[in-house]
Amino acid sequence: MSEKKEFWRWKEYRWHDESIDWKGADIISAGVDIGSVSSQAVIMADGKLYAFSNQRTGFDSPESANQSINWAMEGTGLTLKDIHYTVGTGYGRVNVPFADKALTEIACHARGGNFMYGPSVRTILDMGGQDCKAIRCDERGKVEAFLMNDKCAAGTGRGMEVFADLLSVPIEEVGELSLSVEEEPEPVSSTCVVFAKSEASALLREGWPKNKVLAAYCAAMAHRVVTLLERIEVKKDFAITGGIGKNSGVVKRLEQELGLESLKSNYDSQIAGALGGALFAQALEKKRRSV
Amino acid sequence: MRNAECGLTAMIANYGYKDGSGDYFIAIDTDKCNGCGDCVPACPNSVFVVGEDPNDPLRDEPVAMVGEQERKKLKYTCNPCKPDHDRPPLPCVQACKLGAISHSW
Amino acid sequence: MITAGIDIGAKTIKVVLADDGKVLAKSLVPAGIDTAVATRQAFDQALSAAELSRDQIDRIMATGTGRKDCPLTDDEITEVGAAAKGMNHILKTCRTVIDVGAEEGRTLRCDETGKVIDFAFNEKCAAGAGTFAEGMARALQVPLVELGPLALTSKQAVQMNAQCAVFAESEVVTLIHAKTPRQDIARAVLDAIASRIISMVRKVGFEKDVALIGGVARNPGFVEAMKRGLEMDVHVPEDPEYVGALGAALAAAGAD
């Protein structure tokens, strides 16, 4: 089995706000989200988003955590000791060596979602590399109900990758390509990614073009995710975070089936977890100082 | 689902998964759960653990959760208590006097 | 009475030609792209192996996932029915049959006549059947037939967290990267499939004699894992993947 090709993943990048001078900040907090597929680090200065990085997770979680935070700090002059409190989250949260506390992705996504999409958001769907989470929260970003599926690849980034791989389509192009069909095909009938892949191979042999096969799979994925969401009862406003949030093929079909449009944010939907972590870090540092 | 009018918000934690063969979730209403731990010995396969709530950093009371060991195998783990015919009441649901536990299948 | 049993599985088509319970010939063909073509091919291969012509076959019965679409057959029988009938013919004391194929796992309890009393399936999820082993063999870069023997050389149990065929492939790659011995990974893979199959078996219960059939029964590492898990000896017939087709051929001959 060869190393994953470069263009099967979202682009890696970093950013920081040049207009903010972190030296003047009272509390500098950080959140690091080590996912099974990608990792993000977010740095906040007094609750304002200052810097972040988004890259793929390596084989070593602690090393990924270090690389993540270092890349976020690059060009800012910050060092680890300038950061007052760090929260680790995600699949690899116990492996963030410099974290002061580890919190689950559920709590962090709700807080991060509340920041990114505003206090009107009540339902957050996070579709990550190897899991799918549905969270309902209140106006403060406090969790009211949740479920997470990380057992089955259907409805996760890995599931989509299998198809991108099968059809040799870069992940960034899957969405638009799937929407370029004239008529919506029937969704693939198997939920299981392995069986769906066989089904798709048969369709290709029958002469189905790539965009039609992708449409059938995105439709099946969207439907599956809707049934997961219904278990926690969807309430508006609704937002989608995580890598699949960037896949218009799945997002549009989801919105159609739910009859709800998802909120858009100026921030990259993949940083929601780390952002929530940084917000909790901010609150926990404040609490620590007040004692 | 909690009635918004009584001013109570529930925190329902759903543990489990959905795969090609079905939906297998154990829901724990953490507002009802007081961390008493009666569910732990009631389950013949030690599905439940009680401890600090990893999803609510502000909760002081311990809470019951589905342990990491069985969370992704619930369909298989719960099989012994769920025969196809003449299914008796589930031991975990019966053990919880506060009615915090429910199964989706 | 010469009859034919055709087992149209997810991955392979099996045909058994029998004359009043005596096996005359058998054949196995990958299901491939066109199941109808493969079925015809398997049937013709069996006919020529037995040196018989089509009109010498009195009755044809189909079983397996694709049994409803088979144009060749006169009638059909369920997979559990066929498995019970086939195993009963081979071993009269058999009371439990565990059938593990490429895409589905089945278990059944039967009486001394081979009549099915109760049954259960593992279906629609690749982790519950043979496809899981196939994917992991690929990740380990060993041919599927060597997966079992490799697992048998393992001296240490290793935990597998992934419960999905897709995630498990990534986990295997990670384990290899962490220098986990490949035979330990192989054993963990087969233990995992066995535990999912056994959990299904316990739902219905089991009593001796227990038989293990289907393509995956050819894997000695899997058989070993099943024996360990059930804490009981299991009988693996010769040509375990043909038992379904045999049962269908017998059903075609006998009174139902």
What domains appear along chain A, each with residue ranges and CATH number?
Answer: 6-112+270-290 (3.30.420.40), 121-264 (3.30.420.40)
Distance CA C201, CA C100 (A): 11
CA distances from A87 to A55, A281, A287, B86, C165 (A): 18, 6, 14, 49, 32
Q: Answer whether B80 touches A (CB < 8 Å).
A: no
CATH homologous superfamily for the domain C92-236: ATPase, nucleotide binding domain (3.30.420.40)
The whole domain housing B80 covers: 4-103
pLDDT in the model for residue C81: 96
Torsion C227-C232-C236-C241 (CA) sign:
negative
* Residue positions counted in chain B: 105
Q: Answer whether C125 touches B (CB < 8 Å).
A: yes
Q: In chain B, which residue's Cα lies nearest the Cα of C197? A: B76
Q: Does the structural domain C1-91+241-256 have CATH classification 3.40.50.1220?
A: no
Which positions in chain B touch A138 (Cβ < 8 Å)?
9
Query: What is the per-residue DSSP string for B41-103?
Result: HHSTT--EEEE--TT-TT--S-EEEE-HHHHTTHHHHTGGG--SSSPPPPHHHHH-TT--EEE
Cross-sheet strand order for the sheet of A38-45: A13-16, A48-56, A38-45, A28-34, A85-89, A101-102
CB contact under 8 Å between C167 and A205, yes or no, is no
CB contact under 8 Å between B76 and C124, yes or no, is no
> Residue C56 corresponds to which tokens in the numbers above?
């010498």
Q: Answer whether A150 touches B (CB < 8 Å).
A: yes
CB contact under 8 Å between B77 and C199, yes or no, is yes
Chains contacting C with at least 3 CB pairs below 8 Å? A, B
The C-alpha of B6 sits at a distance from chain C's nearest C-alpha, in angstroms, of 41
CB contact under 8 Å between A146 and B55, yes or no, is yes
Distance CA B97, CA C81 (A): 45
ipTM: 0.87
Q: Answer whether A226 touches B (CB < 8 Å).
A: no
Question: Which H or E run contains C8?
Answer: strand C2-8
The C-alpha of A149 sits at a distance from chain C's nearest C-alpha, in angstroms, of 11
Interface test with A, best of C104, C138, C160, C170 (most A CBs within 10 A): C170
Q: What percent of chain A has pLDDT over 90?
A: 75
Nearest CB neighbour to C124, from listed B20, B73, B79:
B20
Q: At what angle do helices A193-205 and A157-167 cross, to 10 degrees?
A: 20
Q: In chain C, which residue's Cα lies nearest the Cα of B83? A: C203
Query: pLDDT class for A178, splitting at 50, 70, 90?
Result: very high
What is the DSSP code (8-state) at residue C106? E
Q: Answer whether C117 touches B (CB < 8 Å).
A: no
Picking from C94, C91, C89, C81, the residue whose alpha carbon sits closest to that of residue C20 is: C89
pLDDT in tens, chain C (256 residues): 999 999 999 899 999 999 988 999 999 999 987 888 999 999 999 999 999 999 999 999 999 998 887 888 889 999 999 999 999 999 999 999 999 999 999 999 999 999 999 999 999 999 989 999 999 999 999 999 999 999 999 999 898 889 999 999 989 998 999 899 999 999 999 999 999 999 999 888 999 999 999 999 999 999 999 999 999 999 999 999 999 999 999 999 984 4
CB contact under 8 Å between B18 and A149, yes or no, is yes
pLDDT in the model for residue C76: 93
Which positions in chain A touch B18 (Cβ < 8 Å)?
149, 152, 154, 191, 224, 227-228
CATH 3.30.420.40 positions along chain C are 1-91+241-256, 92-236
CB-based contacts of A224: which residues, under 8 Å, 6+ apart?
A: A154, A155, A191, B18
CB-based contacts of C10: which residues, under 8 Å, 6+ apart?
A: C31, C65, C101, C102, C103, C104
pLDDT at A2 over 90: no
Instruction: Give the least confident one: A10-14, A42-46, B88-92, C10-14.
Output: A10-14
> Residue A109 corresponds to which tokens in the numbers above?
């996504």
pLDDT at B5 over 60: no
Mean pLDDT estimate for chain B: 88
**Which tens digit of pLDDT belongs to each residue from A18-71?**
999 999 999 999 999 998 888 999 999 999 999 999 998 887 888 899 999 999
Nearest CB neighbour to B72, from listed C124, C163, C200:
C163
Q: Answer whether A140 touches B (CB < 8 Å).
A: no
Question: Please, is C44 exposed, middle or buried when counting C-beta atoms within 10 Å of its C-beta (0-12, 13-18, 19+)?
Answer: middle
Q: Label the pairing between strands C2-8 and C12-19.
A: antiparallel
- 0.90 cut: is pTM over it? no
Query: What is the per-residue DSSP string for C222-255?
Result: HHHHHHHHHTS-EE--SSGGGHHHHHHHHHHHS-
CATH of the domain at B94: 3.30.70
pLDDT at A7 over 70: no
Q: Answer whether C163 touches B (CB < 8 Å).
A: yes
Query: pLDDT class for A182, splitting at 50, 70, 90?
Result: very high
Q: In chain A, which residue's Cα lies nearest the Cα of C137? A: A1
> Residue C25 corresponds to which tokens in the numbers above?
């010939």
- When divided into structural domains, chain B yields a total of 1
Interface test with A, best of B19, B52, B70 (most A CBs within 10 A): B19
CB contact under 8 Å between A143 and B55, yes or no, is yes
User: Under DSSP, is residue C26 helix (H, G, I), strand (E, B) or coil?
Assistant: strand
Q: Give me the total of CB pairs closer than 8 Å, taking one residue from chain B and one from chain C.
A: 37
Which residues between 54 and 113 in chain C have a beta carbon less than 8 angstroms from any beta carbon of chain B? none
Which positions in chain A touch B54 (Cβ < 8 Å)?
103-104, 107
CB contact under 8 Å between B83 and C203, yes or no, is yes
CB contact under 8 Å between C203 and B80, yes or no, is yes
